[in-house]
Structure 1
Amino acid sequence: MLRLDVILKEKGISNTEFAELIGVSVTSASAFKTGNIKPKFDTLVKIAEVLEVDIRQLFKPTKGGSLLNGFVEHENEVYRIYSIDDLENLLNIVKGNK
């Protein structure tokens, strides 16, 4: 249910480093990643803060579709897309530069 493995890879954070950052054992951090243990809400908040992501980005979609999350490069600038609003803002930038 959680996307920790993907986010940690994107950020280049090892499992050991992740465990240290959120203040849990390496075993617990691994269990969070595999879904064997579901972290409490306060731990999810800490994970989101430490990884500098919106808490919603920690979860995989549950009803089809996909999570809007990625990078777009336009005219030597890299934009992070977290939401439809981010995508619309980028589209306005692109249209304004035509």
Structure 2
Amino acid sequence: MPTPQDTFRNAANSPAARQAADTARSMAEDAGDAAERFSDKAGAQFAKAQDRAQTMAADAQDMAVDAYDEAHAAVRRNPLAAIGIALGIGFLFGALTTARR
């Protein structure tokens, strides 16, 4: 009568077990290849997103500099209006943030 170890050894060396092991190895290789392709594509997408973000940040910085230059020029052209607008905004902000009792 075969022992459990003999039965296991015979099952492990059977053609079905060898085919299952070969299939598992093949699937592991395919999964590794797919992971590598995904990693390459993800890296490329990340690089594109990074470039786009840098472009957008540069554009935003340029817009901020332009707005500052325009505001500075407007204040130089009409300083009294600028002071009046600043006082009005300060008063409005103070009125909105002051706690009412």
Report TM bin, short chain: under 0.3
Name the structure, 1 or 2, with higher relative contact order (CA <8 Å, separation 6+): 1
Q: TM (normalized to structure 2)?
A: 0.21
More strand by share: 1
Q: TM (normalized to structure 1)?
A: 0.21
> If you compute each CA radius of gyration, which structure gives the higher value, 1 or 2?
2
